[in-house]
Structure 1
Amino acid sequence: MADASLTRPAGTAADWTIPQNWSSYSADDHATWDRLFARQAAMLPGRVTPEFMDGLDILRLSKPGIPDFEELSDRLMKATGWQVVAVPGLVPDDVFFDHLANRRFVAGNFIRRPDQLDYLQEPDVFHDVFGHVPLLANPVFADYMQAYGRGGQRAASMGAIERLSRLYWYTVEFGLVRSDEGLRLYGAGIVSSFTESRFALEDPSPNRLGFDLERVMRTRYRIDDFQQSYFVIDSFDDLLDRTLNTDFAPLYERLTALPEVQPATILPTDHVITRGTQAHAVAGA
């Protein structure tokens, strides 16, 4: 939820937070949340990583209606020391990174209209809370998110935010993870989407490639359609370890000399789990 070019709207605090105004949600707003929640909760078991389902239980997100951020933050704080704060929409990069670095997750306080159930370009409360927050109840993933925020603050001083944003995109938003039973979803952009939850795991179209930090940070991504490639981590512990034990300064310098990789490209050095047909992307071209 970051954008470097934004101007702070009137009525927001210096850190861009606003009151959630939970009491202002209409019955239709709560019904939209309940409808979205019910269909994802029915479809995700067996597809999503177990840590996500654990988070739903720990945070009691199955309670009807849009969650009250104050109550949600109380439960999350007890689990991992995180809290959820409301913002009006996208926030500047420095604001976004500062919140993450201090274990605050920014969430839009608005919800999509009933005619936008399957797609909304700007993240709403369902994407942000249902998609992201359950994994913040997992201590390892919670630490990864804080490490990412601190890394973003360093990347900003090095002019490398675009490179680092690709890591967020291909892990936090659209990541897959290995399990003994096969690949599982964990990225919020997938788990909050009814159609992409199936596409990412089951469709023959996309590539599914083993995660490599340098490779991910070279790779462009789609913001207007399903991903053409998904990257698969071995575990949250491994993802955190790579993040904490990588010196990003020489990595950024090395990346400036390497060509960028298009979303559908498979490199000779890739660990290919699934070589996609790219039929979906071709059909939409």
Structure 2
Amino acid sequence: MWKTLFERQSRLLPGRACDAFVEGMKDLPIGPEQIPNFEQLSEALMKRTGWQVVAVPGLVPDDVFFEHLAHRRFPSGQFIRKPDQLDYLEEPDVFHDVFGHVPMLMNPVIADYIQAYGQGGLRAKKLGMLEKLARVYWYTVEFGLVRQAEGPRIYGAGIASSATETVFSVEDDSPNRLRFDLERVMRTRYRIDDFQESYFMLDDLDELLELAHIDFAPVYERVASASEYDPGDVLATDSVITRGTGRYHAAKKQA
């Protein structure tokens, strides 16, 4: 199963994944032959960005997840999907976690950002703002796009580990591609059952460093009572990179 998934994504990602993902993959002890050894992955990560990969049986409680990230430990599922889950499973497995996330952890910006997210998650939970912060993770670490000279490129693990969403996210005319804005993202719901209706794009990964160092408290105050947006909404205030047709999700609703 690992070999099937690895080879399929390796064919799809060139020209669609961002440079940082491609570089991270080249520098890791990872290939199609076998599921990577977590100790070897951790050794490579530790030398580059001080991260390590730790095995978990599945989804872990929020406190545990944030505690791991805050201390530069990335929790990875220790199971792999079954053949009938080749294209989609709701609970992240070892392919999603290792193939999707670990290459980007070789990038110092992403490494610092995800650690800051773990620290921020512990605070957000105490403030009752976890749902808002989770949307930031979703639309960046999981389903983020970044602008390169050649066009939109993938850095989010949820896209990078999915064959169908890899193509859909950067080439299909259906989804919206919007300029990333922190408060806009915090107010936007997302899809967990299908492709995203909107993707938020950074001009540069370095923008995530700003998010790693800002004080979220006043942001939470502003968004706490603000209205929320559906995944496919496009606002007059949005910086629109690509206005989607919505064709894909409209067809699903009719069906």
**Which of the five TM-score ranges fits, normalised by the shorter chain?**
over 0.9
Q: Secondary structure at the match of 2:183?
A: helix
Residue number in structure 1 paired with 2:217 = 249
- Is the 1:56–1:62 contact (alpha carbons within 8 Å) kept by the matching residues of 2? no
Normalising by structure 2, we get a TM-score of: 0.97
Structure 1 runs (4+) greater than 6 angstroms displaced:
none
- In the TM superposition, what whole-angstrom CA distance separates every residue of 1:61-98 from its partner, at most 9, and x where no partner exists? 12621011111111111111100000111111111111
- Is the 1:72–1:84 contact (alpha carbons within 8 Å) kept by the matching residues of 2? yes
1: CA distance, partners of 2:135 / 2:65: 15
CA deviation after TM superposition for structure 1 residue 257, in Å: 2.3
2: CA distance, partners of 1:197 / 1:107: 21
Identity %: 64
1: CA distance, partners of 2:209 / 2:125: 20
Answer yes or no: is 1:161 the counterpart of 2:133: no
2: CA distance, partners of 1:157 / 1:41: 41
Gaps of 5+ in 2: none
**Residue 127 of structure 1, aligned match among 84, 96, 99:** 96
CA deviation after TM superposition for structure 1 residue 40, in Å: 0.5
2: CA distance, partners of 1:79 / 1:268: 42
Equivalent residue pairs, number: 253
- Is the 1:51–1:138 contact (alpha carbons within 8 Å) kept by the matching residues of 2? yes
- In the TM superposition, what whole-angstrom CA distance separates every residue of 1:78-133 from its partner, at most 9, and x where no partner exists? 11110000011111111111100000000000001122211111110000000000
Residue number in structure 1 paired with 2:54 = 85
What are the within-5 Å matches in structure 2 for residues 168-187 of structure 1? 168-187=137-156
Q: Which amino acid aligns with 2:79?
A: F
- Is the 1:207–1:228 contact (alpha carbons within 8 Å) kept by the matching residues of 2? yes
Residue number in structure 1 paired with 2:233 = 265
Q: Which amino acid aligns with 2:23?
A: D
Residue number in structure 2 paired with 1:225 = 194
- Is the 2:9–2:160 contact (alpha carbons within 8 Å) kept by the matching residues of 1? yes
2: CA distance, partners of 1:189 / 1:242: 20
Gaps of 5+ in 1: 1-31
2: CA distance, partners of 1:216 / 1:106: 25
- In the TM superposition, what whole-angstrom CA distance separates every residue of 1:3-29 from its partner, at most 9, and x where no partner exists? xxxxxxxxxxxxxxxxxxxxxxxxxxx
Q: Which amino acid aligns with 1:183?
A: P
Normalising by structure 1, we get a TM-score of: 0.87
Q: Which amino acid aligns with 1:273?
A: I
2: CA distance, partners of 1:264 / 1:61: 36
CA deviation after TM superposition for structure 1 residue 136, in Å: 0.3
Q: Which amino acid aligns with 1:236?
A: L
Q: Secondary structure at the match of 1:236?
A: coil
Residue number in structure 1 paired with 2:165 = 196
Q: Which amino acid aligns with 2:178?
A: L
